[in-house]
Each structure stands twice: as C-alpha cells, then as structure tokens.
Structure 1
Amino acid sequence: MKKKVILKSSILAVAAGLSVFAINSVFADELPVQFMGVNDFHGALEQTGTARLEGETVKNAGTAPLLATYLNDSQKEFETENAGRPNASIRVQAGDMVGASPANSALLQDEPSVKVFNEMNFEYGTLGNHEFDEGLGEFNRIMKGEAPTPGQFNKIVDEYPHEASKQEVVIANLVDKDTNKIPFDWKPYTIKEIPVNDKTVKVGFIGVVTTEFPNLVLRKNHEQYRVLDEAESIAKYARELNDQGVHAIAVLAHVAATSKNGVAEGPAADMIKKLNQIYPENSVDLVFAGHNHQYTNGMVGNTLIVQGTSQGKAYSDVRGVLDTDTADFVKAPTAKIIAVDPSKGKAKDAKVQAIINEANETVKKVTEAKIGSAEKAENITRELNAQKESAVGDLVTAAQLDIAKKSGYPDVDFAFTNNGGIRADLVVKPDGTVTWGAAQAVQPFGNILQVVEITGEQIYKALDQQYDEKELYFLQMAGIKYTYTKPADATEENPYKVVKVYKADGTEIDRTKTYKAIINDFLYGGGDGFSVFRDTKLIGAINPDTEVFIQYIEDVNKAGKKLSASILGNKTFVEKVEEETPAPEPTPQPEPQPAPVEPATPVAPVNPVAPVNPVVPVTPTNPPVQPTTPVTPVQPAASDSKETAQVKPVAVTYHTGVQEVAATSAPATGLPKTGQKDLASTVLSLFGMTSLALAGFVASKKREG
C-alpha cells in the first residue's frame, strides 16, 4: 500500500457546505472490492479431499460444481453487504490449474477444466510448474481453444468441442532464451479498470512462477526458457504500474507459502521481504500464493498473502476498500480461507456439473475398461510410513522394473521414481475390479521411462539427496534396499544420511561398479532436485510410465493372478552402527602372527578410538612408542563396521592409525626451548632494567645532596 497525502473530494465538498453532494462523493471515493482466488486446481473436477485450515479440518471437501456454488454465494453475500453503492468482485487463479489431473480432465488434455473455469468466471491467472507438463505450446493451445493435430492424442480429444479460455494469463519472470521476450504474447501484468460513478479505479495484476520450476519439469519442456527472480520481476513491473498511477496491486504467485498466527512465512514471504528491500514503494497489497497446497492467511509488512489449499477444496475470499483519489487501498485488505464443505447443504452448480457429465461420458469408453483384479477389495494407498515409503509407490516401481526387463533390458537392476509423480491411490472397486482410469490416476503424466547406467557412488548420492531440503522430495524404488541414520552432524536441512545400500537379494552395492536403472525422464533431467540422475548415462527407453503401469496390471491379469501390494520396507532407519567385535574362536591366519595382545585389556594407546564399551583414554605424558606391527583385531577399519541387528543406525566414522594418534598426542611438559635470538633479547632486557634502576638510585642521591 503506497501512502499518499491527498485532500479528498469529499472533504472539499463538506468544506463547501454541499452536504448532499458530500454524501454521494463518499461512495464515489471508496469502492468495496472482493478478490476470490484458487490455486493448484489440477483438473480436480470431481475429486474430494481433506481441507486443513487453521483450527478447522473439513473432510470430503471439494468438487468443481460445489466450489462454483460457494464462490457464487460469497459474491452474493459481498454484493448484499454493499448494496446501493458501487462494488466489484474479481476471481483469479495462481497456477497449476491443469496438469497432474484425473482421467476425466487429463484424457481430454484438461480442456474440461478450461470450460469449468470459464463457467466460474475466472478473469486472471498465471503459470504454475504443471502448465509445463506437456510443454507451454500445448497449454497455449488449450487456452486458445484450438484443435490439436489429428492423431496427436486419443481420438476422443479430436472429437471433443474446444473452447477458448476467458482468462488473461500474466507472467512476469519467464522469457524465451532466444528472443528474451515473454512467450506466446503473454503479458507481465494487466490492469483492470473499474468505473465508479464519474471516476475509474485501477487494479494491477502481476504474475510470477517459482524459480524452482525447472527442477520440477521435463528438461525438453523448460530448456527454451529462462526463469527470472520473482522479487526483482515484481519490482520492475510494480514500478511501471506505479508510474501509470496504479497503486493497488495484486500478485498471482505460484510460490509456496504458509502462515501462523496471522504472519506469513515461506518463499512467498521471503519474496515480499526482498521486494520491500529493493523497491520500498512497491505498493503490492495482496499475494495469491500456491505450489505447496497449504493454508495461508498472513501478513508481511503491509502485504497480505493467502493460499486456499489445493484442488478446489478451499478458496481465498479477500475484501478491501479502494480509494479513487489515492488509487490505493484505504487499509490493508483482509481475508478468509473458506473450505468447500459438503455438509453445509449447498447445491452443486448445475452448469458446471453439466460440463463434467459431458467429459465423463466422453472418457468412459477408455476409463471404465477393466484391466485387472485386486486380491483385496480395498484401495492400494499412497499413504506414507515413517520412512516415506508407500504401498502404491512400491507397486509402481515394481511394475516399471518388470516391464523394463520384458522390454529388452533383462539386466536392469533397479527402478526409481519421484514420489510427486504418484498422484493418487489405486482405486479398487467393491468387486475387486481395477480400471484403466484408476491406473491412469496414479500415474497421470505420461513421462518416458529411460534406462540409464548409474554407478554405486551415484546411487548413494541420489539416495542422500532425498535428505536435502528437509526431505521435501524423495523417491519410491524397487530392486534396492538401504539403511539410513541420523549422523552426528545432522541439521534441520539435512537430517539423515545413507549408511548401506543393497540389491534386493542382499548383495551390498559396490560404489565403484556400474548398474542399470529405470527412471522417468523427469528424474533424468534432474527433476525434484535429484541432480545426480542428470549425470547418468542414457542407454535406452521404454514406454511412458502411464502405459507401463497399465500394462503391468494387464499382464498380472493375463497370468491369472490378482494384484496385491504392501509396503516392502525398502528404506530402514537404524539407530546405531557399531564396530565389529572379534570372533570368540581364533581365526586362522595365512601367515604367522606376533604374540596376541591379552584380550582382557583390548585398549591400546596407539588407537584411542572409543570401542563398543568405552574406556576413558589416558593421555600419556610422553608420546607413545610406535610398535612395529599394529594390533588390528582391536580396532576394525571404518568399512568393516556394521549395523546392530534390528535396530535403527548412527553412522560412525572411525579415525585410526599411528600417524593420527601421534599428531594428537599430549605435548611434553616444561618450558619450551628458546633460540639464540630469544636468549639475546632476554639478556639485553635484563641489562636495560638494571641500568634504569641504577640511574634512578643515583638521581635520588643527588636530590638528597
């Protein structure tokens, strides 16, 4: 909010004594305005979920028809409160409107979602990372309502009626690398002009996408573009808006945020703090955040940041008052985050429901086809255990490994997939039926699966990268198991470290050897921050992940088997890593050995490393004498350590060796020796002090005389 000192027209009118005109001018000068926003809709036309708000949890929230009713009711309430005076209600979305969508939207390239947002009267939107899922060219096509190239997609897409979006896309921090221009003629910002009697009030909308999106998108779909700093981009265009007299500014930011006790936190809050530093007069009043699907309703300085969870389960209802003379908000706007609660007795919007019914009927011939049966009539869930492993994650990767072996790569060892690519439980019908649509909902992206050569060292590094960034991104896997621990140098940012990695048969992974793995092309491009996969060697590819998962279920069915899955325990947390103790029986030695050390006193000053039962080390007065042959049974090498059976691990680094001990031995007692120069300096100092004392004595005698 940019503060200005302006003598308002209403005050001038009162001063002139024109009372009737004064009453009218109050309404003309102040415009109540409502902004309603959603984020991360992900084509969730009929999906429901839990809306977790501050102090409120609503189950089975959502569906587009019910969201439409809630939005309409909120607008009616606002207009009723401001009856008889000008007012305005505006609807916006903060990215990820499409992508990672259920079958009734995804099979039709998310065009039903475009139609639904048209029916719900959304005016402005920005890009999220999922708008890049099939390339910005395809997103631009569906927003323009153009027909695809015949045969490019399933024929149901060709037959589906196309409709252009009514939204205006704004994106300020994305440019084409070749032209240095924003792609597809999209604009960095737009201005909405709202007439108020004989005046006009203006509101600016700037759009930005998170700078981390290249890590979340296939390389081929982002490598043409350069993403710019969010705060710097907002500052640039907020300055342009201010120069045009626009001082009420809302930012549509696909940038993560949270809040606590009315204070916004996270990347979006940091973005505004940086903006305030580089351009204090920015006049950004409101940010619609997104990306991390969290309730947000809090302030950063004079700026309000909101986020309405995700997938239409809730929405942001922001209200404020604009002053036509200052062209700004009278005070900071306020907001409520409202759950789309099915228990309130609201009817679903019939027009939105009709769009969804048409989509359902169109995709039914594909989605309702039975592809297999499950052993139990219950969903195979993506619910995570404490180690962030899920039953459906283990099933998906097992499917990828199996189909890769059948597709010309019989020696592939492992399968890895990013957990974010698994978008739903595998829904099982009451009779045990698994449909095409259910499988597609689990793996909706259609990422190409690629076979790569990967070293054991790279495997360790990739697994460790799960424990960067507070475990924000992690993997599901097959054909591999590992243990991990909380190391001594653990931090909140990097809480754990991998200890040992094994193949499924228990063979330990050799860091120096090369293995083969199946990963999706998202991971191969370094997606979700797994940069290690970028350096693996590509040797082949198989079908997209969606097709592979469906094929696996069909193969199980053809073999006369039923599908089952559970958490396999590929990830094991261990608490303690201990040294191996010598075997109770003497071990045969290939060569004669020196006389063994008495086993009752296994601590040697040569190697003062704490054993399993620690003994307080004694610091020798003089450096220890180095024996001719070190006693190896007492202190095993670090690589010989093992985890305690059936307990959780702490990685221990053993530092052994005579040189290391000698370097840390206690210094000899007594004064250090001095050199000849030091001795000369000492003699001269003593001589000088004696001379001064003598001179003082002589002087005192003279005074007495």
Structure 2
Amino acid sequence: GEPLLPATGIKRFDTPQGEVAVGVIGLTLKDTPILVTPSGVDGLTFADEAATINAFVPQLEAAGADAILVAIHQGLSTTAGYNDEGCGGIAGALLGILQQVDPRVDLVLSGHTHNAYVCDYGKIDPSRPFLVTSAAYGGSMLTDIALEFRGDRLVAKRAENIVVGHDGDAEAGGFPRFAPDAQVAAYVERYVEAAREAAERPVGRLSGDAVKGAGLGRLIADAQLSATREAGAQIALMNSGGIRAPLASENDGIITFGDIYAVQPFGNVLMTKSLTGAQLFEVLEQQFAGTEDELLSPSAGFAFTYDTSRAPGQRILSATLEGRPIHPAANYRVTMNSFLASGGDGFATFAEGTEAVTGPLDLDAMEAWFAMQPVTPVPAEKRAVAAGSQPR
C-alpha cells in the first residue's frame, strides 16, 4: 500500500537570476508484471500511469518546482524523422497516457519502444504543450534538452536527438564523432579482454543468416526441444521478446559463443511442463495480447494457423503436432524458457503447467544444438501461418 521507492525529486540550480527548481516524476508502466518474471514483482501493484503522474504534479508545485519533468518507461512509434517535432505518424501506448496528463507537465522523457522521436505534443493537443522525447536504445543517441527560464518562469524548451558516433565507428556515417573518454574506454576494454577467449570460441557453423521473425526463433525452439527430449518434450515455444540479436553467417558461417550469447543474454533455464491441448490453445491465443511481432516460434513438428482479424479467443484456426490435430483433452509436454514458464510476457497459462522438469540453460541448449551437426540449417518450413499472409 506504500510506494517502495520515492516517486519524485527536485533538483535545484543556482543561476544569475536566482534559483531554479526542476521537479521530476519517475515511473514504470502499469504492464510491468507481464514484462518481467512475475515472481520478481509478486505482491507489488502498479497503478495507472496518468493518475500517478497527476497525483504528484500539485505536490511538486507546492514544493516549489518551476518546471516538471516526467520520466516514464512507456513509449511511442513514429513514421517521421527522429527530430520531427510535428509528431508525424505518432502512435503507441503512451498516447493514451499523454491524453490524460496534467497540462502543468513540461517534458516527458519516454522509452520502452526503442524508437527515437522529439514530439511537440502541443501540436496534437494545444492544452498540453509539453515535449515528448525518446533517444532510441543502446546508447545510439543522446537527447540534448534545453529549458529556458526568465527568473523562475519557464519560457521556452527545445530538444534534439544527437546520433552518438565515435572514432573508429564505421556506422557513424556523416554524423559528428565523439572521442571516447579514455578512462571509461580503458575500463571497458579491461572486461572485453577478459571475456575475449570465451566470446570468440567457435560453437558451430550456420547455413545462412538467422533473424527474428525469419528463422532464428524456430532455430532456438528446435535447440530447446532437442535439449529437453529426456523430460518428454514434444513441443518447444520461443518468445520473440527473448531474442535480442540476429545471427549472421559471415566468416564462412562460423558462430561463436559471443554470437549466441548476444541472442539470448538473460541466463534463462529451460522448463518442460505438461499442458492440456486446451491450455496450449490458450497459450497460442495469449500471443495476440501485444503485437503480431511477439508471436511465439514453434519447434519442428508443431504448427498453427491464425487470423488476427477474428475476435480475441478465436484467432487460432488450427494447431497440429506431427500433422495430427491438437486435442483439447490430451496432455502434451511443452518446453519454454523460465521467463515464460512463470507467466512472463503475458503468457499466464504457461504458469499453470504441471509436472515441471528443469532443464539446461537456454544458451547451453543452443550450443549443444550447433555441436550436433557440421552446419546448422536455418529452419525455413511453415510452422506459424497467418491467414492470407506469408508463413513465419
């Protein structure tokens, strides 16, 4: 019933015109329980974002804040450029929050979607003229934000996303390059060197490039199925959100431990559980709670067809194992990573599985899969097929 951590703070700056106080409200998103391992937030509640922000705005004003910033782990998508203040093509879950935010907020720092944008929200809603910014992800951009005051009154604000290129960065293109801080660079290199032998150790060869949505998820699912056969596994399912990098078949197809670690860096263990056919259908339906990009990747022998135009609960048209229809009353042994096994990513039905057997690390399963064949193929067969579209 009480906040676990302080939700606000005030930073005070001395200026030639006197002190300026900037208030900050920080919060995660309401859907946190479905984005992290559920046991990690057991017993915690996550309140509505807009209501939370609005409750703290008057408190910060009463404490003397001259400007109010919100830092929130929720975001937008955009079809416009990363510095287009016109908010062209803005969409996403954060919009519904912004529509309700107290107009006394001056700036919203957002994230979660990994997109880059600078949106003058006043062009969407003149009664809420705050800036909304996001600096992509992975340190690839930095948002330069300036707030201009006259005395203690905020009179102007601007923001610009700056691409972070550095000396020796081949992808920096025509953007300004910044020399790395020598002390930090040396610190990083110390650990890069310490990990080099393990990272560069070859684990196998790949037949071609494998990326999320085009073979990599299926490859991982096949590896997990193979690694858990002794637990009775018949099916393995891999979540798209757990795939964090592609696998490139450069260097004669040689794949290193560092390559597969970049794909699955979370250290999840594999779990094999018994699910009824009805529960399996529930799991397949739950993948549509988010976006289509979050579809589960099935292992070889398991396939399903779906139609996202149908009503929730009716989107799975069929599911088969080795060509035979999944029977709602039958039991199936299904493997998933430990994040999914506890109901992560909104897959609550995974947590209902019984007769759980703990298997190896997902990374060890991947390495073992590469070791089993001279060249590991990227699976290309139809497994998840959308009505009227190309198979995944």
TM above 0.5, yes or no, is yes
Aligned with 1:254 (options 51, 68, 73): 73
Is the CA contact 2:279–2:349 (under 8 Å) kept in the aligned structure 1?
Answer: yes
Partner residue in 2 for 1:210 = 29
Which of 136, 139, 145 is the aligned partner of 1:318?
Answer: 145
1:266 to 92, 112, 117: 92
Q: Does residue 348 in structure 1 map to residue 179 in structure 2?
A: yes
Residue number among 363, 376, 389 corresponding to 1:563 in the alignment: 376
Deviation at 1:477, TM superposition (A): 1.3
SS across alignment from 2:294: coil
From the superposition, tell whether residues 295 and 200 of structure 1 become closer, same or farther in structure 2 (CA, over 3 Å): same
Q: Describe how 1:35-46 pairs up with structure 2 within 5 A.
A: none
Shift of 1:445: 0.7
Q: 1:457 aligns with which of 278, 301, 307?
A: 278
Q: Write the mapping of 1:179-194 to structure 2, written as runs, cut at 5 A.
A: 180-182=2-4, 186-194=5-13
Equivalent residue, structure 2, for 1:573: 386
Gapped runs of 5+ residues in structure 2? 81-85, 123-127, 166-171
Aligned to 2:326: 509
Q: Is 1:498 aligned to 2:316, yes or no?
A: yes
Name the stretch that deviates more: 454-463 or 392-401.
Answer: 454-463
Q: Which whole-Å deviations, capped at 9, do the CAs of 1:216-267 have from their partners, x for residues lacking one?
A: 1112222143222222222232222111111301111111223563376433
Residue 223 of structure 2 aligns with which residue? 399
Paired residues of 1:446 and 1:547 also in contact (CA < 8 A): no
- 1:545 is aligned to 362
TM-superposition CA deviations, 1:81-127 (whole Å, max 9, x none): xxxxxxxxxxxxxxxxxxxxxxxxxxxxxxxxxxxxxxxxxxxxxxx
Contact 2:37/2:342 (<8 A) preserved: yes
Aligned residue for 1:482, secondary structure, equals strand
Distance 1:235 1:363 in 2: 46
Change (3 A) 1:343 1:496: farther
Correspondences of 1:420-499 after superposition (within 5 Å)? 420-471=241-292, 473-478=294-299, 479-485=301-307, 490=310, 497-499=315-317
Contact 1:443–1:549 (CA<8 Å) still a contact in 2?
Answer: no
Alpha-carbon offset, residue 303 of structure 1: 1.5
Structure 1 position 366 matched with structure 2 position 198: yes
For 1:228-247, list aligned pairs within 5 A: 228-247=47-66
Separation in 2 of the partners of 1:648 and 1:438? 28
- Secondary structure of the residue that 2:179 maps to in structure 1? coil
What secondary structure does 1:511 align onto? coil
Aligned to 1:305: 132
Once residues 533 and 255 of structure 1 are traced to their aligned partners in structure 2, the CA distance between those partners, rounded to angstroms, is: 26
Shift of 1:213: 1.3
Q: CA RMSD in A?
A: 2.6
Q: What is the distance in 2 between the residues matched to 1:551 and 1:221?
A: 29
Deviation digits for residues 345-376 of structure 1 (CA, Å, limit 9, x no counterpart): 624314243333222101112211222233x4
Amino acid at match of 1:381: V
Deviations 1:250-293 (A, max 9, x none): 111111223563376433332232233xxx5xx21001100011
Please tell me the residue identity of whatever aligns with 1:311: G
- CA deviations 1:638-686 (Å, max 9, x no partner) are xxxxxxxxx999xxxxxxxxxxxxxxxxxxxxxxxxxxxxxxxxxxxxx
Query: In the superposition, relative to structure 1, how do residues 471 and 429 fare at CA in structure 2: closer, same or farther (>3 Å)?
Result: closer
Cα deviation, residue 474, structure 1: 1.7
Give the Å deviation of 1:538.
4.2
Within 5 A, what are the aligned runs for 1:285-300?
A: 285-298=106-119, 299-300=121-122
Once residues 495 and 224 of structure 1 are traced to their aligned partners in structure 2, the CA distance between those partners, rounded to angstroms, is 29
- Structure 1: which 5+ residue stretches go unaligned? 1-176, 385-389, 576-646, 650-705
Give runs of aligned pairs for residues 518-529 of structure 1, distance below 5 A.
Answer: 518-529=335-346
Q: Please report how far the alpha carbon of residue 381 of structure 1 lies from its aligned counterpart in structure 2 after TM superposition.
A: 2.5
Larger helix proportion, structure 1 or 2?
1
- TM-superposed CA distance for 1:440, in Å, is 0.9
Counterpart residue number, 1:418 = 239
- For the residues of structure 2 that align with 1:496 and 1:321, how far apart are their CA atoms? 54
Count of matched residue pairs:
369
Distance in 2 (CA, whole Å) between partners of 1:507 and 1:302 is 58
Relative distance call for 1:373 and 1:258 in structure 2 (3 A) is closer
Q: Distance in 2 between matches of 1:430 and 1:447?
A: 28
Contact 2:285 2:313 in 1 (8 A): no
Alignment partner of 1:196 out of 2, 7, 15: 15
Instruction: Provide the residue aligned with 2:353 in structure 1.
Output: 536
CA separation in 2, counterparts of 1:257 and 1:648? 27
Mapped to 2, the partners of 1:223 and 1:347 lie a distance apart of 43
TM-aligned CA deviation for residue 429 of structure 1: 4.5
Superposed CA deviations along residues 171-209 of structure 1, whole A, max 9, x for unmatched, are xxxxxx7xx342xxx432222111113621111122111
Query: Is the contact made by 1:450 and 1:538 (CA closer than 8 Å) also made in structure 2?
Result: no
* TM-score, normalised by the number of residues in structure 2: 0.86
Give 1:436's aligned amino acid. Answer: F
* Deviation, structure 1 residue 539: 2.1
Identity of aligned residues (%): 25
Q: 2:349 & 2:293 partners in 1: Cα distance?
A: 16
| Contact map agreement 2:218 2:238 (CA 8 A) in 1 | no
> Per the alignment, in what secondary structure is the counterpart of residue 206 of structure 1?
strand
Distance 1:486 1:416 in 2: 19
Q: Distance in 2 between matches of 1:412 and 1:346?
A: 51
The whole-number CA distance in structure 2 between the counterparts of 1:546 and 1:470 is 26
Q: TM-score, normalised by structure 1?
A: 0.49
